[in-house]
Each structure stands twice: as C-alpha cells, then as structure tokens.
Amino acid sequence: MSKKIVVLGSLNVDNIMKMPRMPLVGETMALTDVSTAPGGKGANQAVAAARQGADVSFIGAVGNDTNGQFMRTTLLANGINVDSVMTNGDVPTGSAYIMLQDNGANTILIHGGSNQALTISDLNEELIASADTLIAQFEVPLDVITVAFKIAKNNNVQTILNPAPAVYELTPELTAVTDIILPNETEAQLLTGLTVENTEEILNQVSDALLEKGVPRSIITLGDAGSFIADGSHRWWQKPIKVTAEDTTAAGDTFIGTLASVLAPDFSNLDEAVHRASTASAIAVTRQGAIPSIPTRIEVDSY
C-alpha cells in the first residue's frame, strides 16, 4: 500500500541561467543557456515522492497568473492532488533564479511571492490528519509550518522538516513536533553556528547541536560526500554513490521525497531508506533540470 504523504511547501517557476563559473564582482559574463522549468523545494520533493509510488497531496499557494497554472499542471501531471493549492490574486507565483555552473554546482536566489502569502487558515487539517507523513521546508511562513506540524503530531503523523533556506531559527515549539530534520551542510552551519567539516568528530558535534534543539533525529546531506545520520546516539555516515554530476539543483529535494516515500512510521528502516534516497539523488544529479531529473521507482530499483 502506498504511503500517504502531504507536502506543505513552495511552488516556484525556475529561471535557469547556465554559465562557465560564477561572475566576479563588477564582471559582465555571457550566459551559455537560459531556460524555464517548474520547481520550488516543495514541488520537487512532492514529485520525488510521487515518482517513488507515494500517494501525494500538496498544500501551498500560487498567484493568479500563467506561472501558477503552469505549476498546478505540473503537479497534476505527476499524479499529485492539488485540491489544497490556493490561488492568491494579490501576489505573483514564486520564482527562483538558478545560476548553474559548468561543474554542476548551483547558486539559487528566490522570490517567495505567493509562497510567503500562505496562511494558517489555508491549512487543510483533515488532509494532514489523514496522512502518514508531512514534509515542510522553510520557503513558507514559519507559523504555518508550526501549526501544521502540531496538527500532524496530534494525529500520529510522521513529520519531516527540511530547514531550507535557513531563514528561520529552530524554535522549541517547532522542534517539539519534528521527527526528523534534514539540512544540508550550509543550513546545518547556519542553524548551529558550528563550522561543518567532513570529519566524523565535527559531524557528531553538529548533529549533537541539532538534537539539543529538540529533534530526535537528523540527517545532514553533504553533497558528493554523502550524508551523516544521527538517530539518537546511533550515528553513521552514508557514503556517496559516485557519479559525474551535471546539475545538482534537485539533489537534496530528490533525497527527501524519496526518503519520505519509504520511511517506516517507527523509523526502523532509516538505514535502508537513506540508501535508497542516496541512490535516487545520485541519479538526479546526472541529469539536467530539477523536476525533469527526478527518477522513477523503476529507475531507482534497477540502478
């Protein structure tokens, strides 16, 4: 039976700018390509879960514009329920500006738009209460995430927090209702104030700092160094699956959506779920784009 997953998050239209490298201050550089694609951390994670066979519903907001319709159509095309995607006529659909270098590294600028206009009253309590897992990111207002997670925990729904971008502090109110937190190395550094280095000693210290904030489990994604998992006192390093990266834009989102799609309610298969998520992410970075790069269940099974 498919897991029922609700994603509370962002819907952005990605404006992708390809360049040999990041320009220097004051430098004018010619782009090698420009394109537009559906995206947003919420949308990417929802599609990743859906392509792994999960039953996915989305809670979010778009503007009353062509970009908003584009994002609705994208979710529907991936079998995602959009009944709880609101339309806000006062602000445009969110947008992202992705600077993609030839080596696959990216830098992203975001205009929240309708994502930041989402309110507590937009939450579908019945939908959240009926889910197996609720996922959220920091691209929607913090108070909305906190209330949604409280609803989830009151109904024994698993909660996964991706604190990206790390624009909010981790409040005790939120961490008390968070089952697992999934920052990347930059976000972990911003949230803890500690410098993240790829050594077990340092990663244990950073994990301790995250868990001391009130969450029982953390996964720090480390790009081509893999990921470091802390489940209470049990710690391990998921080594990377070596590939040649073409575009890392959706790597983290693919990891999170895939993890959520297979993670047991009691987290008993966390090790196996992390390995599958790592495999899906490795496949995604060998392809161009965000949503177009996300693999299906069959592709992950056969990798």
Contacts of 25 (CB under 8 A, 6+ apart): none
Enter the tokens of residue 172: 């005790």
Q: Tell me whether residue 226 is annotated as binding.
A: yes
Residues near 19 by beta carbon (within 8 Å), at least 6 away in sequence: 29, 31, 32, 99, 100, 101, 102
- Is 208 catalytic? The answer is no
Binding residue per annotation — 214? no
Measured CA to CA in angstroms, residue 34 lies from 38, 94, 210, 256, 258 at distances of 14, 18, 38, 27, 28
Taking each helix axis from N to C end, the angle separating 200-211 and 185-192, rounded to the nearest 10 degrees, works out to: 60
Triad 134, 5, 3: Cα angle to 5°:
130
Residue 139 assigned to a binding site: yes
Q: Is 14 annotated as a binding residue?
A: yes
Strands 158-162 and 180-181: parallel
3 known ligand binder: no
Q: 198 labelled as ligand-binding?
A: no
Beta bridge partners, 15, equal 36, 97
Estimate the crossing angle of helix 251-262 against helix 41-51, to 10 degrees: 50
Residue 249 known to bind ligand: yes
169 residue type, one letter? E
Instruction: Find out whether 42 is annotated in a ligand binding site.
Output: yes
Q: Is 41 annotated as a binding residue?
A: yes
Q: Is 127 annotated as a binding residue?
A: no
Identified catalytic residue from 132, 253, 266, 271? 253
Q: Is 156 annotated as a binding residue?
A: no
The verdict on whether residue 162 carries a ligand-binding annotation is: no
Which residues does the annotation place in the binding site for K(+)?
A: 247, 249, 284, 287, 289, 293
What positions carry a catalytic annotation?
A: 253
Q: Which residues are annotated as a binding site for ATP?
A: 184, 221-226, 252-253
Per the annotation, binding residues for substrate are: 12-14, 40-44, 139, 253
| Residues annotated within a binding site | 12-14, 40-44, 139, 184, 221-226, 247, 249, 252-253, 284, 287, 289, 293
